[in-house]
Structure 1
Amino acid sequence: MTQEIEIEFKTVLEKTAFDTLLNALPFSANAIEQTNYYFETNDFALKKQGSAIRIRKKYDEYVITLKQPHEQGILETHERINSDTFMNWIDGKPVATGQLKDQLTALQVRLEDLIYHGYLTTFRRTFTENELEYVLDESHYNGIVDYELELEAVSFTDGEKAFDALLGQYHIQKKAPITKIERFFKSLPSFMTNDNDER
């Protein structure tokens, strides 16, 4: 069980901008495949609190991550699980322990209310420079393909400066960040219905 504060900057890219960055910068030649499996309650209790939960499969390993808003970025609570526990989550029998369970309790979200909604697969390329990690993602979900640039930093100031400089250098429009889980759920009819009901 681990917790960390994630400081990241991101923007969705057009395919042409994605290709430009891929060819111009020293991203890894081979993409790493990872799949996020997303969960929510019927009434979107996590979304209403600016939070989200997923299980990520990478290299045949599974990690549950709860993301919550934090004044310095995003608070992430991680719990490694085995394939049997992963299948329990998919089958509607989620289990969690320690800090993850405590965080969900604090959000007044019951484990048994979390429902599996689907998955998003990302092909990720990265490189690191000056303590900054640059990430180029191609994601596939519900018949959609999209592209994204992320920059992860230790310092908000350094990260923002480097991110803005990179976008300026390659004449890329800075768009309001939309997380993968937000893009995934917005592709679901059930999410759109719920979103309209809230209005």
Structure 2
Amino acid sequence: MTQEIEIEYKNLLTKDEYDRLLYNLPFPEYSKTQTNYYFETTDFALNKNGCALRIREKDGVYQLTLKEPHKDGLLETHDSLTEKEADDWIQGNIIAKTNTTKQLKNKAIPPENLHYYGSLTTKRHELEDKDIVIVLDYSTFNGREDYELEVEAASQEIGIEAFETLLKEHNIQKRDTPNKIERFFQTIL
């Protein structure tokens, strides 16, 4: 699928809160590692449009994803990349890809105006539970680290209920939580 609506609820955690969730819920013992490579124009046109663009490498598979605002969450548009194409993007040789280029052009953002800004690496634990996926992330970027809870759901109603229940049951304070790309760019601006 080249497009999907992402409905998720996020909360930054302290290390203690992260450890409590990790050990009190039946997460798999081992995490999976993924790296996000972030792109933006020099005038931050993506951000001004509420968008974000990344390449994610996970298990040797590379996917280019444009995230855009949507009334129900985020609209994600995907293109597959080879390892060489991903490396070309990072090296500044931006190769237009069908799906993401179409969406970028709708926002008057030429792909050739994109620049690579850096990466964020995440060790992720995922737990599927009925209609939700509970995610614990430990991320490192630009000499920083953070811990995050995400609840992904098929609907807003299911997602918000599961998210708020988790916070309440584990005595975790709800915090304003910018997404990963926002947290990444806060460290370089």
Q: TM-score range by the shorter chain?
A: over 0.9
Deviation string for 1:129-175 (max 9, x for gaps)? 11210000000001101000000000110110110011001110111
Superposition pairs of residues 42-57 of structure 1, within 5 angstroms? 42-57=42-57
1:98 deviation in Å?
Answer: 2.1
For 2:140, the equivalent position in structure 1 comes to: 140
Give TM-score scaled by structure 1 length.
0.93
For 1:86, the equivalent position in structure 2 comes to: 86
Question: In 2, distance between residues paired with 1:166 and 1:111?
Answer: 40
2:79 aligned with 1:105, yes or no?
A: no
Question: In 1, distance between residues paired with 2:121 and 2:169?
Answer: 29
Give TM-score scaled by structure 2 length.
0.98
For 1:31, the equivalent position in structure 2 comes to: 31
2:99 aligned with 1:60, yes or no?
A: no
1:59 deviation in Å?
Answer: 0.6
Question: In 1, distance between residues paired with 2:136 and 2:32?
Answer: 11
Question: In 2, distance between residues paired with 1:120 and 1:21?
Answer: 22
1:100 deviation in Å?
Answer: 1.2
Question: In 2, distance between residues paired with 1:127 and 1:169?
Answer: 17
Deviates more, 1:70-79 or 1:90-99: 90-99
How many aligned residue pairs are there?
Answer: 189
Q: Secondary structure at the match of 1:174?
A: coil
Q: Partner amino acid for 1:56?
A: R
Percentage identity across paired residues of the two chains: 47
In structure 2, the gaps of 5 or more residues are none
Deviation string for 1:48-96 (max 9, x for gaps)? 1110000000111100000000001000001111011111101111112
**Does structure 1 conserve the Cα–Cα contact (< 8 Å) formed by 2:127 and 2:133?**
yes
For 1:10, the equivalent position in structure 2 comes to: 10
Question: In 1, distance between residues paired with 2:182 and 2:100?
Answer: 21
Question: In 1, distance between residues paired with 2:76 and 2:156?
Answer: 16
